[in-house]
A and B are shown apart, each in its own frame.
Chain A
């Protein structure tokens, strides 16, 4: 008998092997080719190990397989900063036409359009989230943050478990006490949703977000989306007749809210349909919550774990911007975007047939050592990160580069600027209200060694326990 048959027979009982959890920064040994190149097992993408410790794996991809053909997921992973920006800018060659990436939960949005169609739609509501419109909204963002922090006294008195007073110190869970609701409050405010809609908002938001990927939860996502659509279409009909306004501190109307603006927007001389408005709102609902929540949580976690940098931020308010951008570079909430190549292309010697799914991994671009020195460390003073005003055209001058958390090019996140303002304005107010703040490390989840704090991985911090002196 052939020896090969015996060998095969021996492996026939082999089980589907999960990957062990590794110390952060170290990759599981997935084997080595004869020439010393490490091999890469695509099953890692579905493993718990990858969710907590993704960066060493991305490093392998960047170094050895810059365009990795993953036959298990029928996908090409693109991981280097240069390649990703190249593809992002070229929205003709690398289009966003879906193969169902948002599975219909978000609906008819400009996320999945390319070229002229995309530009035209995006600007309809994107314009309300930038520049002067944004400046006009900052006072209401500040007011909202102050109101939420003021409510802590009340929660403590009611015996809530996320705001606890002991003597002169107060312990809070930043998520429940602030970060979960703050971005949603801002979105409601900006959209002009009535206050009573906020409860439903959590339902829409949570169901739609969890419905995006998974099969079991997809149905809830679509149902929530339908519910949102029914609700919004009612509001839209109403606002078409009676527009509503945002007010400044003195109570004067400063501008119409986004729904009212969209109601009077025309494309090619025609008013937007209710369906189009709803889809855009669904996108804002989806995009405006979790990402900013993650940003606030990650920012505070990182800063408090780097006390010298926190001090620098407290000493000079200008440093909040640096801290914010470095946080997004170090651990952002959005992993990347899918693209489909319109033509047959060849990148790094890999032939990609037209119509293939290519995953642009922003996480990996942000940790590309070709761009950012010592990428795994959080350093708000790094020389190679651009932390000025975000530009759609990207920034790459004199050794400084923008991070990729918001993407770059035509599809740059339209909420980037408002998210920046929310996080920084909110954090500045938080900082003044939490004197001598520190993380309650014993209540934070631990890593596999049981001692060091659990890594952030590719999901943002879920719970953050803080302790500070009561004023």
Chain B
């Protein structure tokens, strides 16, 4: 965007990039016309996909899409909804035709900083540090619940543990933690379509920048055992690491999966006592419970992909730049892939029991799709010196924490009269449980 702008006849300056070499642009037009573009969709109105019903329980609407309009053009939201399992996964691994855009794009802050989250040293530090910390942190949260004899698993455990881990990893001073967590959450929510959240998030990013600037300088001269110091040791070609890079790395990390999966796992276990008995009997079954949770009630219910160029898929020609909403929620309940998909079964026989590498099936079985984790490794055989994938790390963390919780609170049950439910705070945010009161 550094090229000089072109001044138009009204004095409006429009900066532009030259067109890319692509196929003739009239093709979209021709195909749209030939196919009469929109199918008639009497069974669903696009406004329903923004409604409160969708926010609370998206599954009935997603089923309509999957069974009747597998590639649905939502003219109101100017996007396509993709819902069958095989189609969603095919887009998800198709980097050539579909791109993700970073959270900074949704903020319109592309120049804010660089994301260092995929650097080897950062991944290694995260993995090692998380492994060391998770048991102790989970135990202290569980002990606190045990000593009170009651509590809320969703807020006092599932939501709290990821924040504790984060603060430890970034070595945030005890007195700053509350403010730091607040800013972190505000920054994460700011990618929303809601203007108050956008605005709030923007401010939070600025505040985080203000917080990290002195911290970065301090740790540059006195490196410690923390993620910021690790990042600072990294020497990118484009110049030394700045506070902006630290903030962007924090923003771009997977915000939903650990929190959402823990809350949803415990919601499902506590509302399915038989499955709970299975899961608490064996650490391996707890892992399967976690995997089944990501399938049955994934917290990141959909992911956005943009067409890099005009591409023909799913019986339609997708124009360049088109937004495709890949719905994990719908795909994970696809009856073509999973038997009786609405049932929560810890030891499900048709769900892949290990990390799929390079694709979404392994051992002949499909996995649940959980987008927050990023796509599976593009190297089916991960070299030994690589750290665990984020997928595996989040899984191990969640399973360990859940195991600690179930061991500590042997007699846990849902508080009498409690009617927990899953819901998003606003349409498009993580779909999880916000209140799960228990007795123990």
Contacts and interface: CB of A to CB of B under 8 A. Distances in A.
Contacts of B306: 353
Given A93-B16, A343-B19, A215 B50 contact: no
A404 B73 CA distance: 30
B10 A86 contact: yes
Contacts of A99: 32, 78, 319, 322
Contacts of A103: 36-38, 75
B18 A343 contact: yes
Interface in B337-384: none
Contacts of A356: 321
Interface centre among A2, A73, A97, A351 (most CB of B within 10 A): A2
Interface string A66-110: 000111111100000011011001100101011111111001100
Given A86-B9, A343-B17, A218 B38 contact: yes
A255 B25 CA distance: 38
B175 to A, nearest CB: 14
A340 B178 CA distance: 45
B422 to A, nearest CB: 10
Interface in B34-48: 35-38, 40-42, 44-47
Nearest to B434: A12
Contacts of A291: none
Interface string A104-122: 1001100011000100000
Interface in B67-92: 73, 75-79
A97 B29 contact: yes
Interface stretch (B129-137, B187-195, B291-299): B187-195
A95 B199 CA distance: 32
A75 B435 CA distance: 35
B130 to A, nearest CB: 19
Contacts of A8: 159, 185, 425, 434
Given A97-B26, A104-B32, A104-B38, A90 B18 contact: no
Contacts of A48: none
Interface stretch (A27-35, A143-151, A262-270, A304-312): A27-35
Interface string A1-28: 1111110110110111000000000000
A443 B294 CA distance: 59
B304 to A, nearest CB: 9
A244 interface: no
Interface centre among B16, B52, B108, B177 (most CB of A within 10 A): B16
Interface stretch (A36-44, A185-193, A415-423): A36-44
Contacts of B312: none
Q: What is the predominant secondary structure among interface residues of chain A facing chain B?
A: loop
B36 A95 contact: no
Contacts of B321: 340, 353-356
Contact of A218 (B17, B41, B110): B41
A254 interface: no
A71 B193 contact: yes
A350 interface: yes
A73 B428 CA distance: 12
Nearest to B144: A1
A46 interface: yes
Contacts of B52: 15-16
Contact of A11 (B40, B46, B425): B425
Nearest to A72: B193
A12 B155 CA distance: 12
Contacts of A83: 10, 12
B156 interface: yes
Given A89-B8, A107-B33, A222-B40, A344 B79 contact: no
Contacts of A93: 14, 16
A31 B196 contact: yes
Given A89-B8, A218-B40, A343-B19, A12 B32 contact: no
A214 interface: yes
Nearest to B79: A74
Contacts of A215: 40-42, 44-46, 75
Interface residues of B, number: 75
Contacts of A34: 199, 203
B211 interface: no
Contacts of A108: 33
Contacts of A1: 155-156, 160
- How many interface residues does chain A have, given as a range? 35 or more
A2 B29 contact: no
Given A99-B319, A343-B18, A347-B12, A12 B435 contact: yes
A445 interface: no
A313 B108 CA distance: 51
Contacts of A104: 32-33, 35-38
Contacts of B307: 355
Nearest to A117: B26
A345 B33 CA distance: 27
Nearest to B308: A355
A43 B1 CA distance: 31
A39 B323 CA distance: 25
A181 B313 CA distance: 44
A119 to B, nearest CB: 14
B204 to A, nearest CB: 11
Interface in A131-167: none
Contact of A12 (B41, B195, B423): B423
Interface centre among B8, B47, B106, B182 (most CB of A within 10 A): B8
Interface centre among B108, B193, B203 (most CB of A within 10 A): B193
Interface in B98-135: 106, 108, 110
A6 B196 CA distance: 19
Contacts of B319: 97, 99, 340, 355
Contacts of B44: 215
A74 B9 CA distance: 28
Contacts of A6: 155
A90 B321 CA distance: 20
B350 to A, nearest CB: 33
A216 interface: yes
A342 interface: yes
B33 to A, nearest CB: 5
Interface in B378-412: none
Interface string B179-216: 00110010000001111100100010000000000000
B140 interface: no
A99 B323 CA distance: 11
A199 B319 CA distance: 39
B203 to A, nearest CB: 7
A16 B55 contact: yes
A346 interface: yes
A86 B14 contact: yes
B28 interface: yes
Given A12-B423, A97-B29, A219-B42, 6 more contacts: A2-B178, A39-B199, A72-B193, A86-B12, A103-B37, A344-B17
- Listed from nearest, the 6 A-B pairs whose CB atoms lie closest are A355-B321, A104-B36, A219-B40, A103-B38, A71-B193, A12-B434
23 contacts: A1-B156, A2-B181, A3-B178, A5-B160, A15-B52, A16-B427, A30-B196, A33-B199, A74-B77, A82-B10, A93-B14, A97-B25, A103-B38, A104-B36, A117-B26, A215-B42, A215-B46, A218-B41, A343-B18, A351-B110, A353-B321, A355-B319, A356-B321
